[in-house]
């Protein structure tokens, strides 16, 4: 392309870098508004979530959850004849990961009228993107390159071929012993999954489990992990890792003990996928999160957007796709000169990122939270009152499992009389979470919430119990 052509007509209105769930949605929402869109993908269309994160990890977890749910239920318990069939679970996981083939997703892109450019994209300056030596121009660029695991600097670690979350979600056999390093979401979920499949799992967590959640979440999950045989070691960190000739990994911990395993999974956090992306050509720093406003526009630019994991606002598929819906439409609106609704809670603003992010940790018990923890609310200066309730006292929960274990908590803004955070920990609480998200986003006043009557006998009746604990406003 010559410079003259470049000035006249860019190749696309919008180029999206990264065809993960977020990039796909940016492209979809933009193209539906009538602009010309291409996405660039260096690996598989569908991204981390489809092949190495959400889908395979939940498929690995689900069968164990179902088996334990049956074990907790008189009558069903007596019908259980054996253990999980690990090879059948792995085969089911393979199907959920589409056997790591993206044909279906590619077909969908094409049917949506979105061009796919295969290859590694790099920015080469404002509104220009290089893919494999060819330069493409666009009126706007959206970066949706996701995040990648951080590998801590532990002597010997790189040489032993540690598992990251990719290896832990795509492994084709069950290691007899597995060391999991990290007590966050990925560490606790994957420890649960592999222990359920028969691995002898040790989980090492320097700071405790699920530290960003309400304290009872980590406590209940630690108890449950121990019950399925996981050796949970809190307050310890690896100091050296070696693999011997027979393939056995020995990990020395700073408490003076060692752990011997076939594999070691590192689940200690993620960093933005912004290295080797050419961001330095537009004045940004490689390796940094791309900071954005609520329309996902990168600070200091009027053409560059960053959406999903890469902006660091919420490393969750559903929240990234929410940002993508806003970004795709606002990009099209700005390029076509149609009105922009970027005010808080407007169609083009991802306002919920600040106040009402929901997420589920698919451990057993599940941990489901929307909005803030008590600690986060207090740190924001919100005048807080909290109420808690044992889920095991709720009739619907008792029906779900004999000896149901779980807890729920609401964080209330006392001045505004609205809920700013809700946490549920227990079996099958994931499906309860959207009620909390709606209450938080809708800022439903507590006196009105009394009129939202939960059905009897469901786990949702905990809402009534929590309101009773709070007292009628």
Ligand X SMILES: Cc1cc2nc3c(=O)[nH]c(=O)nc-3n(C[C@H](O)[C@H](O)[C@H](O)COP(=O)(O)OP(=O)(O)OC[C@H]3O[C@@H](n4cnc5c(N)ncnc54)[C@H](O)[C@@H]3O)c2cc1C
Task: Give yes or no for residue 120 binding ligand X (CB under 6 A).
Answer: yes
Q: Decide if 86 contacts 64 (C-beta within 8 A).
A: no
Instruction: Give the strand pairing for 147-149 and 134-143.
Output: unpaired
Task: Give yes or no for residue 58 binding ligand X (CB under 6 A).
Answer: yes
Residue 84 CB, nearest distance to ligand X (Å)?
Answer: 20
List binders of ligand X among 386-415 (CB under 6 A): none
Residue 218 CB, nearest distance to ligand X (Å)?
Answer: 18
Task: Give yes or no for residue 364 binding ligand X (CB under 6 A).
Answer: no
The secondary element (H helix, E strand) that includes residue 143 is strand 134-143
List binders of ligand X among 259-278 (CB under 6 A): 273, 277
List the one residue from 10, 146, 175, 184 that touches ligand X (CB under 6 A).
146
Q: What whole-number distance in Å separates Cα of residue 27 and Cα of residue 143?
A: 11
Q: Decide if 421 contacts 357 (C-beta within 8 A).
A: no
Nearer to ligand X, 317 or 427 (CB): 317
Task: Give yes or no for residue 17 binding ligand X (CB under 6 A).
Answer: yes
Nearer to ligand X, 188 or 251 (CB): 188
List the one residue from 15, 30, 144, 384 that touches ligand X (CB under 6 A).
144
Token duo for residue 102: 């993206």
Task: Give yes or no for residue 231 binding ligand X (CB under 6 A).
Answer: no
Residue 49 CB, nearest distance to ligand X (Å)?
Answer: 4
Q: Decide if 369 contacts 377 (C-beta within 8 A).
A: no
Nearer to ligand X, 218 or 320 (CB): 320
Nearer to ligand X, 13 or 48 (CB): 48
Nearer to ligand X, 141 or 236 (CB): 141
Handedness of CA 329, 332, 338, 340 (dihedral sign): positive
Q: What whole-number distance in Å separates Cα of residue 236 and Cα of residue 166?
A: 24
Q: What whole-number distance in Å separates Cα of residue 373 and Cα of residue 409?
A: 9
Residue 119 CB, nearest distance to ligand X (Å)?
Answer: 7
Residue 22 CB, nearest distance to ligand X (Å)?
Answer: 3
What is the contact mask toward ligand X in residues 305 to 344, using x (rule: CB under 6 A)?
A: ---xx-----xxxx-x------------------------
What is the contact mask toward ligand X in residues 18 to 57, using x (rule: CB under 6 A)?
A: xxxxxx----------------xxxx---xxx---xx--x
Q: Which stretch binds ligand X (CB under 6 A): 6-14, 106-114, 141-149, 460-468?
A: 141-149
Q: What whole-number distance in Å separates Cα of residue 70 and Cα of residue 401?
A: 8
C-alpha to C-alpha distances, 213 to 244, 411, 426, 428, nearest whole angstrom: 38, 13, 14, 18
Nearer to ligand X, 145 or 202 (CB): 145
Instruction: Give the strand pairing for 418-426 and 366-371.
Output: antiparallel
Size of interface with ligand X, in residues (CB under 6 A): 35
Residue 444 CB, nearest distance to ligand X (Å)?
Answer: 24
**Opening angle at CA 35, ends 26 and 133, nearest 5:** 75
Residue 73 CB, nearest distance to ligand X (Å)?
Answer: 25
Query: Where are the alpha helices (H) located in 72-214, listed in sequence order?
Result: 86-96, 103-111, 165-170, 185-196
Task: Give yes or no for residue 183 binding ligand X (CB under 6 A).
Answer: no
Q: What whole-number distance in Å separates Cα of residue 279 and Cα of residue 145?
A: 12
Nearer to ligand X, 202 or 268 (CB): 268
Residue 438 CB, nearest distance to ligand X (Å)?
Answer: 18
Task: Give yes or no for residue 145 binding ligand X (CB under 6 A).
Answer: yes
Residue 46 CB, nearest distance to ligand X (Å)?
Answer: 7
Token duo for residue 230: 């996981």
Q: Which stretch binds ligand X (CB under 6 A): 17-25, 329-337, 419-427, 433-441?
A: 17-25
Other CB atoms within a 10 A radius of the CB of residue 136 amount to 21
Residue 278 CB, nearest distance to ligand X (Å)?
Answer: 8
Query: Where are the alpha helices (H) located in 371-471, listed in sequence order?
Result: 374-379, 395-400, 433-441, 446-449, 462-470
The alpha carbon of 437 is separated from its chain's Cα centroid by a whole number of angstroms, namely 16
The DSSP call for residue 285 is -
Sequence-ordered strand ranges (E) for 244-383? 249-253, 258-261, 263-266, 270-272, 304-306, 358-361, 366-371
Nearer to ligand X, 240 or 271 (CB): 271
Q: What whole-number distance in Å separates Cα of residue 184 and Cα of residue 203?
A: 11
Nearer to ligand X, 122 or 398 (CB): 122
**Tokens 């499949």 sit on residue:** 197
**Opening angle at CA 313, ends 41 and 372, nearest 5:** 145
Site residues, ligand X (CB under 6 A)? 17-23, 40-43, 47-49, 53-54, 57-58, 120-121, 144-146, 165, 169, 186, 273, 277, 308-309, 315-318, 320
């Amino acid at each position: 392309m010559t410079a003259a052509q470049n000035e006249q007509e860019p190749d696309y209105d919008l180029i999206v870098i990264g065809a993960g769930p977020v990039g796909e949605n940016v492209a979809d929402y933009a193209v539906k508004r009538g602009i010309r869109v291409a996405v660039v993908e260096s690996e598989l269309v569908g991204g981390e979530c489809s092949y190495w994160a959400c889908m395979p990890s939940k498929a690995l977890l689900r069968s164990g959850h179902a088996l334990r749910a049956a074990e907790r239920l008189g009558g069903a318990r007596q019908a259980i004849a054996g253990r999980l069939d690990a090879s059948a679970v792995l085969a089911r996981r393979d199907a959920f990961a589409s056997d790591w083939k993206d044909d279906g997703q590619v077909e969908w892109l094409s049917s949506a009228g979105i061009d796919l450019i295969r290859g590694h994209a790099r920015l080469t300056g404002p509104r220009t993107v290089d893919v494999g030596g060819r330069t493409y121009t666009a009126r706007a660029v959206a970066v949706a390159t996701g995040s990648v695991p951080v590998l801590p600097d532990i002597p010997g670690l790189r040489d032993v071929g540690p598992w990251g979350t990719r290896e832990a979600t795509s492994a084709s056999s069950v290691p007899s012993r597995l060391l999991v390093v990290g007590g966050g979401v990925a560490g606790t979920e994957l420890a649960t999954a592999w222990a359920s499949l028969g691995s002898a799992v040790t989980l090492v967590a320097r700071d405790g489990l699920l530290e960003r959640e309400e304290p009872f979440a980590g406590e209940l999950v630690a108890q449950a992990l121990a019950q399925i045989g996981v050796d949970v070691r809190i307050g310890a960190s690896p100091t050296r890792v070696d693999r011997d000739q027979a393939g056995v990994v020995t990990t020395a911990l700073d408490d003076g003990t060692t752990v011997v395993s076939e594999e070691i999974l590192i689940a200690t956090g993620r960093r933005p996928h912004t290295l080797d992306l050419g961001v330095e050509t537009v004045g940004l720093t490689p390796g940094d999160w791309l900071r954005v406003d609520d329309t996902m526009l990168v600070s200091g630019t009027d053409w560059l957007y960053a959406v999903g994991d890469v902006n660091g606002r919420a490393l969750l598929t559903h929240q990234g796709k929410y940002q993508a819906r806003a970004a795709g439409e606002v990009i099209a609106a700005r390029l076509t000169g149609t009105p922009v609704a970027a005010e808080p809670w407007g169609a083009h603003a991802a306002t919920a990122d600040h106040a009402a992010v929901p997420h589920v940790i698919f451990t057993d018990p599940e941990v489901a939270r929307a909005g803030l923890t008590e600690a986060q609310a207090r740190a924001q200066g919100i005048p807080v009152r909290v109420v808690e309730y044992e889920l095991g006292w709720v009739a619907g929960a008792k029906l779900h499992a004999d000896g149901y274990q779980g807890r729920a908590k609401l964080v209330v803004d006392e001045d505004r009389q609205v809920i700013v955070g809700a946490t549920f920990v227990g079996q099958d609480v994931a499906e309860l979470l959207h009620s909390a998200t709606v209450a938080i986003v809708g800022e439903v006043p507590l006196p009105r919430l009394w009129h939202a009557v939960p059905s009897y006998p469901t786990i949702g009746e905990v809402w009534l119990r929590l309101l009773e604990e709070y007292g009628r406003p």
